[in-house]
Amino acid sequence: MLICIVGFNFVVSGQDYVDSIRTKVINVKSIRDLDKLAFNFCDTFSVEMTGLYPILKTLPTLKDDSTIVKTFLIKNGFTQVDWGTGNWGKGPRFIFIKYVKGNCSCKIFKKYYFNQKQKDNSVDLRITERIICNSDKFMDD
């Protein structure tokens, strides 16, 4: 019985730690600014980058869609192990890609947010990319 209680406390403490990781938002003025960013992909962090893309009126086709941030991981020897896409409450699409290297794991989320309603009742789209490394944090946490 005591073992179960100790194990439960460990799980709760671990969950509190994951939930306490705050997402840092970085506004990138140009793609060249990305080269100035330095990440240790084996640290635990969450960063969302804005300004990478212009506001769009329509979604690109999924087969032509990709992420910019993945190039950092590939250059650092990470391998893609999972991916997915879907709709979500804040926008019409997100793309998920997971990369690993040894014990280090990073997830990238490219998120299409609904932005502003236009005169023709359509909604334009704001796009960000979020990288979460070594955490169970989800794209909206």
* pLDDT at res. 28: 86
Give pLDDT, residue 134.
96
Low-confidence ranges of the chain (pLDDT < 50): 1-18
pTM comes to 0.80
Query: What is the predicted pLDDT for the residue at 86?
Result: 92
pLDDT at position 19: 52
Strand, coil or helix: what is 63?
A: helix
Q: Give yes or no for a contact between 123 and 93, defined as CB atoms under 8 angstroms apart.
A: no
- Burial label for 115, CB within 10 Å (0-12, 13-18, 19+), is middle
> Which pLDDT belongs to residue 20?
67
Q: Per-residue pLDDT tens for 117-127?
A: 777 777 789 99
Residue 12 has a pLDDT of 37
Of 32, 69, 48, 45, nearest to 135 (Cα)? 45
The Cβ of residue 47 has, within 10 Å, a number of other Cβ atoms equal to: 16
